[in-house]
Structure 1
């Protein structure tokens, strides 16, 4: 009775105050990747390729770009903050979808966890924490590359990695919540269908002002746009009170994802 009652008590909590038992879920993931660190670090390579192929290569043809904040910068400096946000997104979303789906449907890892004092909320918080840590790791590595390349133009960039944590939280939480509804690997086509257009059109490679008015509102509604706008403002010294809106959007989206995921895991595994 003691083992089965612990998850029930934790499920009643509305939101985690701290990591608590979730730290064991994070520690388990860190241990699992100890011998596969190359796979862990590979996720930041794609944004670096985009940076040097498009930002530097194509940037030589485009020249300078006027941002939505009014700054005039080189195209590589314009693209770099967006790719940093995309690094956080990639690290979080793929860990919270593909890896979580395998653990949930095939490995049955969470069933084993629930036989311990770990509860549904702990699983949700632990997995989402790991996904945002992975995304922030990619972002930190990318920031170093951008700094070495001379693409960082403001001391506000020291907050770029904490901002990447918000991006990772939003995508990791929503990604894991979505994964709990998936039935087969074919469902991941929908993840690609959502992520790829978001990556290309969330003011990543072009200023928002270049989009038609009919599409601008749609771009503003995407979470990656808020991550891109936040990172770009920090790295290009366009900091203002308007950034709080982006922070609030990402934080609320992440909180809703955590709550929804914990409830879904409880529904799937405890009923």
Structure 2
């Protein structure tokens, strides 16, 4: 697959800067230890699906989804914008047999892989911290890849609409509320219905639900809904990003 050449290119660029590549998973780890474990010592438990779950476990499963989101968003927005506007990488790429469709697929694969690296390291931290030792963590990692796919597609499409670095404030305006309110630190049932409905249709919430169900070993119909939602969102985002790249680079 010719799109894989773009993935190989990015891997070669980062092979000596792997600490920079992995730096984005630090934030969810800090959330886990400060809020999940620190504050969790004062919280008796949280009701999830009719059962009481320890607060550290409740937060940890959500932070896996957040790690996956961070990995995908970092590369599909900031880095893609730099490659497109300043490095002019895609102008050179399109001088080869690669097409804008190949660029969209290659960038989505790379962002998803980075997302998978973030979530894999976070799952190791979870196991070492004793938050979860379930074999379902393997399935949680696969779910994290779907989260990465969804945010990679949408992030790439969003990056094609940005005009300058100042426009990234719009990305933060979306990412920060999702991180705080998508069932990450407290159940969404605590929110009023308009805000709860808004959070329940976000990709991070669907990812949190999927990771939490799998980490507890109790996947249900909501998990399958999340899988379909995340795959569809990633595919649609990648398709729109391809259209935008074609308009911008081939005019």
Give the TM bin, normalised by the shorter chain: over 0.9
Q: What per-residue deviation string (whole Å, max 9, x for no partner) do you get for residues 188-207 of structure 1?
A: 00000000000000011001
Secondary structure, aligned partner of 1:43 = helix
Residue number among 172, 181, 184 corresponding to 2:152 in the alignment? 172
Aligned partner of 1:230 in structure 2 is 210
Distance 1:100 1:213 in 2: 36
Aligned partner of 1:73 in structure 2 is 53
Could you tell me how far 1:224 is from its partner in structure 2? 0.2
Q: Is 1:60 aligned to 2:41, yes or no? A: yes
TM-score, normalised by the number of residues in structure 2:
0.97
Unaligned stretches of 5+ in structure 2? Answer: none
Aligned partner of 1:91 in structure 2 is 71
Could you tell me how far 1:211 is from its partner in structure 2? 1.5
User: Do 2:58 and 2:212's aligned partners in 1 also have CA atoms closer than 8 Å?
Assistant: yes
Distance 2:118 2:184 in 1: 17
Could you tell me how far 1:84 is from its partner in structure 2? 0.5
Unaligned stretches of 5+ in structure 1? Answer: 1-19
Q: What per-residue deviation string (whole Å, max 9, x for no partner) do you get for residues 143-168 of structure 1?
A: 11111222226432221111111100
TM-score, normalised by the number of residues in structure 1:
0.90
User: Do 1:153 and 1:237's aligned partners in 2 also have CA atoms closer than 8 Å?
Assistant: no
Q: What per-residue deviation string (whole Å, max 9, x for no partner) do you get for residues 103-160 of structure 1?
A: 1011110000000001101101111110110011110110111112222264322211
User: Do 1:128 and 1:169's aligned partners in 2 also have CA atoms closer than 8 Å?
Assistant: yes
Secondary structure, aligned partner of 2:46 = strand
User: Do 1:88 and 1:136's aligned partners in 2 also have CA atoms closer than 8 Å?
Assistant: yes
Residue number among 16, 20, 25 corresponding to 1:39 in the alignment? 20
Distance 1:120 1:52 in 2: 42
Aligned partner of 1:14 in structure 2 is none
Alignment coverage as a number of residue pairs: 251
Distance 2:14 2:24 in 1: 14
Q: Which runs of 4+ in 1 moved over 6 A?
A: none
User: Do 1:139 and 1:161's aligned partners in 2 also have CA atoms closer than 8 Å?
Assistant: yes
Q: Give runs of aligned pairs for residues 113-262 of structure 1, distance below 5 A.
A: 113-152=93-132, 154-262=134-242
Aligned partner of 2:30 in structure 1 is 49
User: Do 1:154 and 1:234's aligned partners in 2 also have CA atoms closer than 8 Å?
Assistant: no
User: Do 2:210 and 2:222's aligned partners in 1 also have CA atoms closer than 8 Å?
Assistant: no
User: Do 2:209 and 2:222's aligned partners in 1 also have CA atoms closer than 8 Å?
Assistant: no
Stretch moving more, 237-246 or 130-139: 237-246
The structure with the larger Rg is 1
Could you tell me how far 1:62 is from its partner in structure 2? 1.4
Residue number among 6, 15, 27 corresponding to 2:8 in the alignment? 27
Distance 1:30 1:153 in 2: 31
Distance 1:50 1:158 in 2: 22
Distance 1:259 1:90 in 2: 21
C-alpha root-mean-square deviation of aligned residues, in Å?
1.0
